[in-house]
Amino acid sequence: MKYLIENFPGQLKEAFRIGEQAKLSGAKKISNVFISGLGGSGIGGTIVSELVAMEATVPIIVGKGYFIPKFVDKNTLIIISSYSGNTEETLNCLNLALKRKAKIVCITSGGKAAEIAKKKKLDVILIPGGNPPRACLGYSLTQLFFILFANKIIGNRFKQQLRSAVELIETEKQNIVYEAKTIAEKLHGETPIIYATTYFEGVAIRFRQQLNENAKVLCSHHVIPEMNHNELVGWPSGTEKVAVIFLRDQDEYERNNSRIEISKEVIKKYTPNITEVWSKGRSQIEKAIYFIHLVDWVSLFLSELRGVDAVEVKVIDHLKGALSRI
């Protein structure tokens, strides 16, 4: 896992080359987009849909289950993201999308998704396989941008922003590793609670998922301003055994910044363990990539502090095995 996290900049570069060379047919008319994917294969959809929200010309919905919305039709772009190509929920969405005659593009390393794509002559982007899906976010996330661009849903600004993001995390490598170790030490022995503002919720989810799978800990996340309307009221039952992390951005909307400061004052009454993590970069894409790389390192260092194997996910393997016998 350490090698895979360390190689994230290289993965993004390779993913960019794959995206540039991908043969995508595009579509004459797209009314909406539905991205299907779960876990490490699906988090890219959540993050990208937020990053392009202010630019995308049509609505983008992300699904993390067995079914597709009723609105899906021949004018819907369906993106099937399954690293293994065998995710049963995503494959069910793929088969339903075929029945609706939607425009389908698959992102996968092989498996049944690749077989179906070949048989049905669907657009498919093949990415390198053989690693934990959560360690290959760079591949799937990058292809999503290229697919949206090929279908004229976003412009090409993402290309330079992705290049700049790679340069940023390469330049900041030592600082990222140092900060990640410091954060991991604050989380060790505590229950993490992650807060972010709306357009970084995908990053917060990524953080939570990486702590779940790599460090084997339970944690939660919420977003501002929504948490000000519910979760903040629950803090009187909080304890000092929680560690709060705020994902911050210098360019955040001023009202959200005010909400964060007021929320911190409330939370400080119940726990002193509050950490603010600030983004770096000029564009939202750069900031998201910076955060992703940082929190991945945090999850690795916390796994080491806890003495657990960051790669092992036996409970998920058990679940899949049990489901296969039903």
Give pLDDT tens digits for 72-90.
999 999 999 999 999 999 9
Q: How confident is the model at residue 324 (pLDDT cuts 50, 70, 90)?
A: confident
Q: What is the mean pLDDT of the chain?
A: 96
The answer to whether the CB of 89 falls within 8 A of the CB of 37 is no
Return the H-helix or E-strand segment holding 271: none
The answer to whether the CB of 290 falls within 8 A of the CB of 167 is no
The pLDDT of residue 198: 87
What's the chain's length in residues?
326
| 55 pLDDT higher than 90 | yes
| 27 pLDDT higher than 80 | no
Is the Cα dihedral 211, 216, 217, 221 positive or negative?
Answer: positive
Give pLDDT tens digits for 116-129.
999 999 999 999 99
Check if 2-155 and 171-306 are the same fold: yes
Give the active site residue among 29, 118, 318, 320: 320
Instruction: Return the CATH superfamily for domain 2-155.
Output: Glucose-6-phosphate isomerase like protein; domain 1 (3.40.50.10490)
CA distance 208 to 119: 37
Give the active site residue among 23, 119, 229, 314: 229
CA distance 178 to 185: 11
The pLDDT of residue 7: 97
Q: What is the CATH topology of the domain spanning 171-306?
A: Rossmann fold (3.40.50)
Give the active site residue among 50, 89, 213, 286: 213
213 is catalytic: yes
Give pLDDT tens digits for 251-310.
999 999 999 999 999 999 999 999 999 999 999 999 999 999 999 999 999 999 999 999
Nearest to 33 by CA among 91, 76, 97: 76
Q: How confident is the model at residue 131 (pLDDT cuts 50, 70, 90)?
A: very high
188 is catalytic: no
The full set of domain ranges for the chain reads 2-155, 171-306
229 is catalytic: yes
Cα 66 to Cα 91, 92, 202, 278, 289: the distances in Å are 8, 6, 21, 36, 29
CA distance 245 to 295: 11
Q: How confident is the model at residue 319 (pLDDT cuts 50, 70, 90)?
A: confident
Q: 55: which DSSP letter?
A: T
